[in-house]
Chains A and B, each alone.
Chain A
């Protein structure tokens, strides 16, 4: 165990002393600050009468509901319930130009963070083969499984660090640009059919957490390809292609019943929470988690077998 931690320490030393990793961190911080500046100085003036907006939005939603079925209808109903709760309890929607509003919007950074993590995962094993340094790792009294695990943990740690950086960075940027005010503004969400008030920090952490599931799966795919084919570009290219093309594949396959077993139908778990909707009819949270775990186990097994069995 002690040696495992030292291996993780090694991997982190190698990763975070790379110029490309430092550039990723700078890009992430740069993106948050840029979006913040644009929101502050270039955004449209928000209407001061939020009640009128919410009311007219609710009317539009109700019209839409009359010709919608299935998951989409459920999502609309939840949205309407939240709007009505808002009006009844006098809770205005979060402004984009507030610390929590900005922090909440900045959860979109998870897309960039996922791509960065895929890039790291795609290179962390094959890079060692490419440079020949894999020999330094495998001629030491450490099992190959331990070497591989230390790299996998490092990938997830990098993803986690980026996410934490994004959360803290966007909160601070939001605070500096829009003032550290209205900190106890509640988020409204639907839990068990009822509208509830939620702490904003809990809400934002939940968004990050659900997106992190997708990050883990995507990083694992890249990691698997990286250790099975020892080719960095292939690992990064295929995984990003799968991530981008996943939704397209879902649309093409939507008429088949077995679409719910496709990985991409189960990646976005946020549909099961709050006012979201699952991407495919008939999915449940338990089912999606099971499908994800099966895929995950397969990816891990392929990567592990390829790395531990093959000649170097």
Chain B
């Protein structure tokens, strides 16, 4: 078996008398993009901070390629590149000097590597400007450059697309996939944009109130439920509503000439037949699986911060 990139073993965190993390155990493999999801205050950032060595855990241990973050901090952390929470920099220095600053703290980063990373994130035209003149999107790019500088095998990204325009989001998403697939990096992504996680990640870990309530692949997660929303474009609409109501027992939702029903896949042909037999013109059918977002709200019960 391949050695996991990151291994959490019964990680607990207690602050005062309050237990924030109740024993997390999971592995992340090289080449895998792992989405870390949870409502605000669930413990995502606390967990990420413990993985990065910023916070000490009360119990348990975290291993990065077999090195304990507690006892072999330097050997463990050298494999890791991270943006924790917002990408923050020394605003009075240029982007380039910020990268030089980061390069001096690790081994083996040459001037060529800095230039390479700058081109990679597309900051070459502004890199010698002071960071205080940067937009949030540019800070994100600089954050990514800083995290990738020493060619880490693990990348931790908290809200990586925050502040990027749509083109930037697509670019970053592609880039994250490429890093995982071509270079075999293990990547942890936490995001509020759940649709983002759906497009970027291989597996999802859902954390709530400091407990890991589910770890699944994205496909399993989204397809687990057979029911989906089916849209019918029909004419006349009123007649269709009555027919559908009497056959399925559901009151269809109406938007213009569209009707929506929640159905299992197997039921769709039967419904179509009934509609056609009733003389209703059917212009189109679309099906819509539950998005990760809906699933997520369902799994976490739509709970607010506890």
Contact = CB atoms under 8 A, between A and B. Distances in A.
B188 interface: no
Nearest to B97: A13
Contact of B88 (A18, A131, A309): A131
B113 to A, nearest CB: 15
B86 A139 contact: no
Interface stretch (B49-57, B178-186, B223-231, B239-247): B49-57
A135 interface: yes
A141 B77 CA distance: 6
A139 B84 CA distance: 9
A146 to B, nearest CB: 10
A6 B89 contact: no
A310 to B, nearest CB: 9
A252 to B, nearest CB: 39
B63 to A, nearest CB: 16
Contacts of B73: 141, 143
A309 B55 CA distance: 9
B102 A9 contact: no
A51 B145 CA distance: 73
Interface string B88-122: 11111100010011101111000000000000000
Contacts of A13: 93, 97, 100-101
A81 B102 CA distance: 60
A9 B104 CA distance: 9
B105 A17 contact: no
A18 B92 contact: yes
Contacts of A9: 104
Contacts of B217: none
Contacts of A143: 73-74
Contact of A135 (B54, B56, B75, B97): B54
Interface in A1-40: 3, 6-7, 9-10, 13-14, 17-19
Given A14-B93, A311-B56, A312-B54, A140 B88 contact: no
A8 to B, nearest CB: 10
Contacts of A311: 49, 54-56
A311 B47 CA distance: 12
Nearest to A9: B104
A17 B100 CA distance: 14
A142 B105 contact: yes
A133 interface: yes
Contacts of A206: none
A13 B86 CA distance: 23
Interface in B244-276: none
A17 B78 CA distance: 28
A136 interface: yes
Contact of B78 (A6, A7, A141): A141
Interface in A111-157: 131-133, 135-143
Contact of B101 (A14, A132, A135, A142): A14
B82 interface: yes
B82 to A, nearest CB: 5
B140 interface: no
Given A17-B97, A131-B90, 15 more contacts: A6-B105, A7-B104, A9-B104, A10-B104, A14-B101, A17-B93, A132-B88, A133-B89, A135-B54, A135-B88, A136-B89, A138-B53, A141-B106, A311-B49, A311-B56
Interface of A: 3, 6-7, 9-10, 13-14, 17-19, 131-133, 135-143, 309, 311-312
Interface of B: 49, 52-56, 73-75, 77-78, 80, 82, 84-86, 88-93, 97, 100-102, 104-107, 146
